[in-house]
A and B are shown apart, each in its own frame.
Chain A
Amino acid sequence: MERKMVFMQGNEAVAEGAIYAGARFYAGYPITPSSEIAEICSQRLLEVGGIYMQMEDELASMAAITGASLAGKKSLTATSGPGFSLMQENLGMAQAAEVPCVVVDVQRSGPSTGLATKPAQADIMQARWGRHGDQAIIALAPATVQECFELTVKAFSLSERFRTPVVLMPDEIIGHLRESVLLPAPGELEVVERKRYTGDPKAYLPFKPEDDDIAPMADYGSRYVFHITSSMHGYEGYSQNDPDNAAWKIGHLSDKIYNSLDEIIETREFFTEEMELLVITSGSTVRAAHEAVRQARSGGMKAGLLQLITLWPFADSKISELAAGVKSILVPEMNLGQMVHEVRRIVGAEMPVHSLAKSSGQGIEPQEILTKIREVY
């Protein structure tokens, strides 16, 4: 099989990317604007020997993919804001029990049922902080249909590598966008498999990290018998409530991610040489910002653009590096201002950070960003 150019929808590219990454289990509850992912997976997984399950709700969906992953299948679910809210409970379970899986949240406008189903980028903080307790999450945001495919593959790889759930969060505009995609040949994109234990069954400790911060896994049904729990646990996977262990374990859930930022964080720069104003954004807003920055450059303004492909962990180092050479920063986003606070945290009070916040169920247009660039430049 060779590379192939096809005309495809963002949600379709997510489903195909999941199959490419080796996903063979999907459990979900249909919701616009993500339903195409369920529809395509229901057909494609049957074709490739996998399983599609339509669950009774999103609580069960998230639980089922966690169980299936421990039975050895790469697993995913897809949803939108209202369903993503319901998934938070068992997303926390998957984080605590360190179970790889991918959750796709095609972002729509809220709160609650909201503007069904107009686009938004308002789940950024929910993805980061939606669960109770301390934990870290990896979240990725595609800006093109090509990225929908490639970042789905990457989401699975990061999930397997770091033994943790990963959230892929296209906004509705990207999920429903159709454009040309170059589908990679098998083997062309890196597909990471989880580290599996191969030693003595009696010596297996399912939660004892090795030098790379990650404990090797086993599959239910293999010769390695293991115990998983949502409760605080030690290396053996049984409840363990002593303070030293709790402090270590809670720290570990964040450390295993924050110790490997170089492996996780991906950004893309446009027009960032000799720059005075930096635009930082993600998802569909990158497309509008690209056009606005291009026009600003034509008009003699030294504007540049940073696309955050990885939303979480936040790209602190890259933003610090680029901010060092500019006079101001503009953060357009389809919400009342979520990413902008992270940017302000990084660059400090001295640097003017302007927000272009739009929360009306509409995409941000290039002209709006260009107008704002002119205003703050």
Chain B
Amino acid sequence: MAVYSAEHYLNRKRLPHLWCAGCGSGIVLGSLTRAMAALGLDREKVVTVTGIGCWGKADDYLNTNAFHGTHGRALSFATGIKAANPELTVIALMGDGDGATIGGNHLIHSARRNIGVTAIVVNNMNYGMTGGQYSATTPHGCITSTSKYGNPEREMDLCALVAVAGANYVGRSTAYHVTQLDSLIKNAISHKGFSFVEVISPCPTHFGRRNKFGVSVGMMKCLKERGLNKAKFGMLAEEEKDKYILLGKLVDRDEPDFNEQYETIRTRVFGSEQGLKG
């Protein structure tokens, strides 16, 4: 295995990044590059796939191959890339808009199909790039630029959704719990099948300001206080759980992935030889 530093994966030519002061995206980018370095990935064999949004700009700052696609479809592009060449490490970077809202259907089916893609969803609980409108993960009642008197809709638990849809690996952390995040991302990338990491991340510019979390420090404090591991979370009374965020590895399975299932069928029908009727 080659030994690289995290900086090996950073595209310095494109820095400084465009994220606001206090945004969590840069922290997650740091975790991602450290995970790549820890795994010694060859950047030629990595494809980073993004959609549209703040976190969707992350591919610009990486030295890997990249596919910056349309809003919500990152997982579908990633699916085609991985299925066509299973030797590639394919990582989809999406926000809560891309991953949970407009692309929610693709998230469900990527998990169900157990395609060998790692999805890292940076959930800042609103559409940051377009001015802070509410998304599928904006908590009920919160103030956003399209819910000025409170969000009438309910938020979605992404990890629970992906777990029940069949992903092999699911974990959640925050932009505050960086050591844990490094480890979750590294494990997700090296895990076979569909792996999913949700990162709860501050958006001080829109979400924090409108919901009286203070600026970035206040939001970070909130993540620190509300993020609990399984043991602590489990001790909470049911009615308290809504106020806290369950962190850590939530699912760890070893089911065959899409390509493995496909090749199993091919081998069963044709033996190890292919191209017989080409």
Give A contacts to B, CB under 8 Å. 19, 25, 27, 44, 46-49, 51, 53, 55-57, 59-61, 63-73, 75, 89-90, 92-93, 219-231, 238-239
User: Helix, strand, loop or mixed for chain A's interface?
Assistant: mixed
User: Helix, strand, loop or mixed for chain B's interface?
Assistant: helix
A-B interface, 9 closest residue pairs, ranked by CB to CB distance from nearest: A67-B80, A64-B80, A63-B76, A68-B84, A60-B76, A71-B84, A68-B80, A48-B278, A229-B68
The distance from the CB of A66 to the nearest CB of chain B, in whole angstroms, is 6
Whether the Cβ atoms of A63 and B60 lie closer than 8 Å is no
Whether the Cβ atoms of B77 and A64 lie closer than 8 Å is yes
Q: What class of interface size applies to chain B in its complex with A?
A: 35 or more
By a CB distance below 8 angstroms, the chain A residues around B78 are: 67
Q: Is B12 an interface residue (CB 8 A)?
A: no
Whether the Cβ atoms of A225 and B79 lie closer than 8 Å is no
The residues in B between 49 and 92 inclusive whose CB is less than 8 angstroms from any CB of A are 49, 59-60, 63-70, 72-73, 75-81, 83-85, 87-88
Name which residue of chain B comes closest to A27, CB basis.
B80
Whether the Cβ atoms of A25 and B80 lie closer than 8 Å is yes
Contact of B76 among A46, A49, A67 (CB under 8 A): A67
Give B contacts to A, CB under 8 Å. 14, 43-45, 47, 49, 59-60, 63-70, 72-73, 75-81, 83-85, 87-88, 105-106, 108-109, 262, 265-266, 269-270, 274-278
Contact of B85 among A19, A48, A72 (CB under 8 A): A72
Most central of A48, A57, A227 by chain B CB within 10 Å? A227
Whether the Cβ atoms of B109 and A49 lie closer than 8 Å is no
Whether the Cβ atoms of B109 and A56 lie closer than 8 Å is yes
Contact of A221 among B80, B85, B265, B276 (CB under 8 A): B85
Whether the Cβ atoms of A67 and B68 lie closer than 8 Å is no
Whether the Cβ atoms of B66 and A228 lie closer than 8 Å is yes
Whether the Cβ atoms of A72 and B84 lie closer than 8 Å is yes
By a CB distance below 8 angstroms, the chain A residues around B14 are: 238
Name which residue of chain A comes closest to B45, CB basis.
A221
Q: How far is the CA of A323 from the CA of B170 in the complex (A)?
A: 66
With A93-B69, A231-B68 known as contacts, the answer to whether A53 contacts B44 (CB < 8 A) is no
